[in-house]
Structure 1
Amino acid sequence: MDEHDIFKLITAGVRFTKKPKKVPQKLPPVAQIPQQQKQEKIEDKTEDDAEDTSEFRLLNGEAAAPKRKKPKKEKAPSADELAANEAAEFRKQNNITVLGKNVPAPLTSFEDLTKDYKLLPRLQQNVLSRGFAQPTPIQMQALPVLLQRRALMACAPTGSGKTLAFLTPLINGLRAHKTTGLRALVLAPTRELAQQIYRECAELTRETGLRTHFISKVSEAKQKHGTECKQRYDILVSTPNRVRFLLQQQPPLLDLSQVEWFVLDEADRLMEEGQNNFKEQLDDIYAACSNPGKCVAFFSATYTVPVAKWALRHLKNLVRVTIGIQNTATDSVQQELLFVGSESGKLVAVRDLVRQGLQPPVLVFVQSKDRAKQLFEELLYDGINVDVIHAERSQHQRDNCVRAFREGSIWVLICTELMGRGIDFKGVNLVINYDFPPTTISYIHRIGRTGRAGRPGRAITFFTQDDTANLRSIAQIIKNSGGTVPEYMLQMKKVRKSEAKMRAKKPLDREDISTKIRPEGKEESKQKSAKHKKIEKTEKVLKKRNINDTAVGSKLKKLEKVKGDLKPQSKRKPMGKLKKTKAKQ
């Protein structure tokens, strides 16, 4: 092995790269240039540069002095910019938030409707007769948007005048009666709310020529609708299930192809999906309103994501209006949280409020119709003019109950979620949440029955240890609306979304309100007899086996205990007829 082979082994895998050599310029070394020549060269350069710059400046017609920048003249804002700034400042003062392109400026008074939008003179008189001296914040912004026939999704606190905000543009847009068919459709989740909207619409359309219709009974629909409805009425106010029933008849009894205005009140409730909800009914009705130029408006006191998604997907040129903080209670209601310990403590707390002196009218909310009946039986003998309203009562009974409560002959009205939305009772002084609301939206709507149209109100919510899961969210709403709550409530753990959904769908199982022993109903007795038969069969099977077996003996003992529990309970004697008649009077 020679030197060449050894070099190959050592340098295996090594890469040699040659860099290009820089050719140095042949300049004399600095040390060899005399100092005097260096200074002369520098002076020559500066003189040449000065001559060049001076010549350049002279060629441009400028002086040799350094150039000064002239201050730019600020342009005066245009009239449109000034109007936009004024509108933004006005919205800020009234807690109005808008989203959308080219949103019209809010109104400052009802007189602007005549000047800018040519409101019908008779309609303006009817609006002023409703008792509104100045428009409320939702009316300030919703009226100009709808008068321009823009799609609208509005969220405003309870009792802020939303009904007037959508009925006024609707009536002004229709102008006069026509026999072409229904031209406006207003939907609400409950019959009581739809009837209230109908009464308001009848007042606003007085002496305008327009005709409003309300579907009272589905059973009479075949006689009163169809061709007569097409020729006689312009505006229809109803619930979704009644409208869909008429559409599903063969042939359909309603023609919605000419509808120009489609309005949903309590839109978040109508857009809820799931069992016993309105979403499927609403989809069928919206498909029947085939007029491409219709104006769509959604109104509610609470905001939900499904409503916003649907509106953004289906509506063009949409405007969103929010009054105050989204999903909060009105600040005119004094809100309180009261710990009552247990279910029996709630009844004690109610009677304590009665002893202190209630200021009627009072609304009491419970979570089910069975609990509403039980509470009614308990309060009936306490010397209070009390009544109950729930889904099991007939429509005639419900109407009479609502009318009596409005007239003042009933002081305390016990109700379920049926009355939690939209119903406008004038001057309700107190709302009692006997059962804790399942969701924050339910809480906002319940306490919104008081403190309406600027009047002060009060709301008391009872809670027990079982209700602490939703306590933090309710306490946060109270704090956002200006109330005071203990700090520990705000620092409680947040509930998981899955658990919150389960609580909203399935309320808590609570103890009975009633203090008396109830007689068994037919269904309960049937269930108990069936269980009793099954227990007897299992006893026969076990007795055939070895009785000395300890496992068999323990099972028989358990079955005997269950049989003892299934025995009918003793009934408590009812109170005398005299007390009942006095309470009813």
Structure 2
Amino acid sequence: MDEHDIFKLITAGVRFTKKPKKQAPAKLQPQPEVFKQEEPVKSDKSDEDDQETTEFRLLAGGSDSQPKRKKSKAGKAPSSKELELQRASDEANETRRQYGISVLGKKVPPPVPSFEALTRDFKLLPRLQQNLLARNFDQPTPIQMQALPVLLQRRALMACAPTGSGKTLAFLTPIIDGLRSHKTSGLRALVLAPTRELAQQIYRECAELTRETGLRTHFISKVSEAKQKHGAECKQRYDILVSTPNRVRFLLQQEPPLLDLSLVEWFVLDEADRLMEEGQNNFKEQLDDIYAACSHPTKCVAFFSATYTVPVAKWALRHLKNLVRITIGVQNSATKTVQQELLFVGSESGKLVAMRDLVRQGLQPPVLVFVHSKERAKQLFEELLYDGINVDVIHAERSQHQRDNCVRAFREGSIWVLICTELMGRGIDFKGVNLVINYDFPPTTISYIHRIGRTGRAGRPGRAITFFTQEDTANLRSIALIIKNSGGSVPEYMLQMKKVRKSEAKMRAKKPLDREDISTKIRPEPKIDEIHKSAKLKKVEKTEKVLKKRQGTENDLKSKQKKLSKIKVDLKAVGKRKGKGSKTNKM
């Protein structure tokens, strides 16, 4: 980064005005503003996101969501056109206030209140509108109200909306409408997601919306079949590709490449904050290679997620022109349809007791249970299976076929309780999940938001219970603030706890706490005599080791002394022989 780039980042959103050259001596003129910047709205947010939120607002502060009013000439009334534009702007702002929509950008189009208005204003594809109505999408959600007109104008977009608010439909509808013309053959839209389960879910939704439109959608299920599906010998051409970044980059690295992304007009990232994470086992490096292969000069780029992070904002501001930012509700907050609870369980063993208490009180399936590792998922699965609960487990070690069967059984209701890791915390839409249990405390606030977002989707009520122990109190304040901001009630002492340093929060996010195994096996307490005996045995063993070492050193010394004595005898014998030889020579 050179000096120009640093100055550009520092001065984003800043306006410098020159002082007037001449000032009238008779009249006092007000001092001009040398520095003007939009102040961020103050709200209670998690501690680890405060600095990131402020940094993003400073980066994006130069945009203005409302059109600037033209000053009418003195003594002249505004024209009818100006009044009409002002009236439309006021109506758009009132609609945004009503639905909690915040926008940031230049000349942002007004939100659309219905799909009929969308069809009227943008001439939506009639078959697409029929498919929307067939899916019982009568009225657009807040994110769809604002994101649809922005993307139909082919503007770059960053959208942040709560989980279960209809983000998938918000980017699939403009893609399908924009690809209605069949001038070119080949991939013209690419949608990436962090997990295979989420990508498969997007593919199913896209297949329903593209029915009888002539567009073909593909999902990469097996890389081994990619040559038949995408190679030079393949006659069938797909318009929309939905996949994970790793599979797409693998196909690009083949010789010759099995994918041609030069015609891609739509580039969409779902769960963009996860895809933009840097470091080991993350997607950023894969994403850079894929974005470089999408060389179409007028491609439309859109990022969607339930949470915002600074890396996403910096990348978008650096690479995307005419960017629009949309936020629904409070940024990085949980949905208000979820009843959130924090439950103190004392210790790790107390979690299993609390879990069985919930089962005894009567769980209303389906239920999702989150733990932080696959080992703990296996252990909890064995415990609940022993209790006779209809439970299954999904983690990275299970085969893809097993994971697909598990997800399908959970959707169909054959499984009541599903134990999972962070693998299932992103974007998966399970209809009607009634309860989410955070068996292990979430490592970050973003993880917490995505976990509890598996319930309370599409306006349905949900419930989330989070277990915490004494070791989890470091991150307790940030989670309590999220619950308070979303309308829940938390004890006052949690809000007054000490803030966690940013370095410590990052360390906890990368390396979760070491926890005891999940088990009900009672270890018998050793008796006092046994304790004394074990201590004596340890002392005896220690002394034996020391004696053996000493004995070994003594034996070494004795052998060395024997060698030295032998060497001395040999030297004396050699000396005597030399002495006799010298005498005979003299004679």
- TM bracket, shorter-chain basis: 0.7 to 0.9
Partner of 1:81: 86
Name the CA distance, whole Å, in 1 between partners of 2:282 and 2:446: 16
Shift of 1:142: 0.1
Q: Displacement, 1:180?
A: 2.4
Amino acid at match of 2:363: L
What SS does the corresponding residue of 2:386 show, helix, strand or coil?
A: coil
Look up the SS of the partner of 2:140 in the other structure.
Answer: coil
**C-alpha distance in structure 1 between counterparts of 2:408 and 2:467, whole Å:** 28
Cα distance in structure 1, aligned partners of 2:100 and 2:543: 70
Hey, what's the Cα distance between the residues in 2 that align with 1:120 and 1:132? 15
Alpha-carbon deviations, 1:451-472, whole Å to 9, x = none? 0000000000000000000000
Does the aligned pair in 1 maintain the 2:369–2:417 contact within 8 Å?
Answer: yes
2:157 corresponds to which residue?
A: 152
Question: How do 1:319-398 residues align onto structure 2 when only pairs under 5 Å count?
Answer: 319-398=324-403
Distance in 2, Cα, partners of 1:400 & 1:184: 29
| Partner Cα separation in structure 1 for residue 516 and residue 542 of structure 2 | 32
1:94 alignment partner, one of 90, 96, 99? 99
Aligned mates of 2:387, 2:278 — CA distance in 1:
41
491, 502, 505: which one aligns with 2:507 = 502
The structural deviation recorded for 1:416 is: 0.2
Work out the CA distance in 1 between the residues paired with 2:103 and 2:331. Answer: 12
Change (3 A) 1:481 1:230: farther
Q: Is it true that 1:289 corresponds to 2:309 in the alignment? A: no
SS of corresponding position for 2:344: strand
Deviation, 1:225, is 2.0
Identity %, equivalent residues: 89
After TM superposition, where is structure 1 displaced by more than 6 Å over at least 4 residues in a row? Answer: 536-539
Find the aligned partners of 1:220 and 1:398 in 2 and give their Cα distance: 20
Give the direction of change, closer, same or farther, for the CA distance of 1:79–1:366 in structure 2 (3 Å limit).
same
Output the CA distance in 2 between the equivalents of 1:372 and 1:261.
38
- Counterpart position of 1:434: 439
1:228/1:356 CA distance change after superposition, 3 Å: farther
299, 302, 327: which one pairs with 2:304?
299
1:284-303 deviation line (CA, Å, top 9, x unaligned): 00000000100000000001
Aligned: 1:445 with 2:450: yes
In structure 2, distance between residues paired with 1:178 and 1:537: 84
TM (normalized to structure 2)? 0.76
Bigger mean CA deviation after superposition, 538-547 or 259-268:
538-547
CA distance in 2, matches of 1:517, 1:395: 36
Distance 1:516 1:251 in 2: 57
For 1:394 and 1:178, the matched residues in 2 are separated by 41
Alignment deviations for residues 295-344 of structure 1 (CA, whole Å, 9 cap, x no partner): 00000000100000000000000000000000000000000000000001
Determine the C-alpha separation between the residues in 1 that align with 2:542 and 2:107. Answer: 77
Q: Secondary structure at the match of 2:458?
A: coil
* 2:139 equivalent to 1:134: yes
1:116 to 117, 121, 126: 121
Q: Any unmatched runs of 5+ in structure 2?
A: 1-73, 524-540, 553-587
1:351: Cα distance to partner? Answer: 0.5
Q: Which residue, out of 466, 471, 478, partners 1:466?
A: 471
Alpha-carbon spacing, 1:179–1:318, altered in 2? closer, same or farther (3 Å): closer
* 1:180 and 1:230 in contact (8 A); partners too: no
Mapping 1:514-533, distance limit 5 Å: 514-516=519-521
Q: Is the 8 A contact 1:100 1:320 kept in 2?
A: yes
Letter in 2 for 1:310: W
- 1:414 is aligned to 419
- Structure-2 residue corresponding to 1:487: 492
- The amino acid across from 1:271 in the alignment is M
Alpha carbons 1:180, 1:231 under 8 Å: kept = no
Aligned mates of 1:185, 1:513 — CA distance in 2: 42
> How much does 1:220 deviate?
2.4
Aligned to 2:38: none
Kept in 2: contact 1:176–1:210 (CA 8 A) = no
Distance 2:376 2:95 in 1: 48
Give the alignment partner of residue 185 of structure 1, picking from 187, 190, 212: 190
Amino acid at match of 2:151: L
Alignment-derived partner of residue 264 in structure 1: 269
Residues 538 and 420 (structure 1), Cα distance of their counterparts in 2 relative to 1, 3 Å cut: farther
- Displacement of 1:444 in angstroms is 0.1
Q: Are 1:182 and 1:230, in contact at CA under 8 Å, matched by a contact in 2?
A: no
Give the direction of change, closer, same or farther, for the CA distance of 1:178–1:232 in structure 2 (3 Å limit).
farther
Higher relative contact order (CA 8 A, sep 6+): 2
* Matched residue SS, 2:393: strand
Residue of structure 2 equivalent to 1:312: 317
Matched letter for residue 161 of structure 1: G
**1:561-572 maps to which residues of 2 (within 5 A)?**
none
For the Cα contact (< 8 Å) 1:179–1:230, is it kept in 2? no
Q: Pick from 257, 271, 275: which aligns with 1:252?
A: 257
> Deviation string for 1:539-578 (max 9, x for gaps)?
767622279xxxxxxxxxxxxxxxxxxxxxxxxxxxxxxx
Count of residue pairs the alignment pairs up = 462
Say if 2:239 is the partner of 1:237.
no
Q: Residue type of the partner of 1:200?
A: E
* SS of alignment partner, residue 467 of structure 2: strand
Deviations 1:363-419 (A, max 9, x none): 000000000000000000212110000000000000000000000000000000000
Look up the equivalent residue of 1:151 and give its one-letter code: A
For 2:190 and 2:521, the matched residues in 1 are separated by 49
Q: Are 1:302 and 1:441, in contact at CA under 8 Å, matched by a contact in 2?
A: yes
| TM-fit CA distance, 1:179 | 5.6
Instruction: Supply the AA of the counterpart residue of 1:108.
Output: P
**What's the CA shift for 1:514?**
2.1
Q: Confirm or deny that 1:215 pairs with 2:215.
A: no
SS of the residue 2:442 aligns to: coil
Q: Give the 3-state SS of the residue equivalent to 1:545 in structure 2.
A: helix
Tell me which residue corresponds to 2:406.
Answer: 401
Query: By how many angstroms is 1:113 displaced?
Result: 1.5
Question: 1:72 deviation in Å?
Answer: 5.8
The question of whether the paired residues in 2 share the 8 Å contact of 1:181 and 1:230 is answered with: no
Question: RMSD of the alignment, in Å?
Answer: 2.1
Q: Give 1:416's aligned amino acid.
A: T
Q: Which amino acid aligns with 1:419?
A: M
Structure 1, residues 151-187: CA drift from partner, whole Å, max 9, x if none? 0000000000000000000000000456621000000
Q: Judge conservation of contact 2:192–2:242 (CA < 8 Å) in 1.
A: yes
Q: Unaligned regions of 5+ residues in structure 1, if any? A: 1-70, 519-535, 548-585
Structure 1 position 228, deviation (Å): 5.6
| Other-structure match for 1:276 | 281
Q: State the Cα distance separating 1:537 from its structure 2 match.
A: 13
Contact kept in structure 2, 1:178 and 1:234, CA below 8 Å: no
Q: C-alpha distance in 1, partners of 2:163/2:371?
A: 20
Q: Which residue of 2 aligns with 1:553?
A: none
Which residue of the partner structure matches residue 206 of structure 2? Answer: 201
- Preserved CA contact (<8 Å) 1:213 1:236: yes
Which whole-Å CA distance do the structure 2 matches of 1:539 and 1:439 have between them?
51
Specify the code of the residue in structure 2 equivalent to 1:201: C
> Which has the larger displacement, 128-137 or 356-365?
128-137
TM-score between both structures, scaled by the size of structure 1? 0.76
Letter in structure 2 aligned against 1:405? F
Q: CA deviation at 1:78?
A: 1.7
Query: Secondary structure in 2 aligned to 1:220?
Result: helix
Q: Matched residues in 2 for 1:91 and 1:181: separation?
A: 38
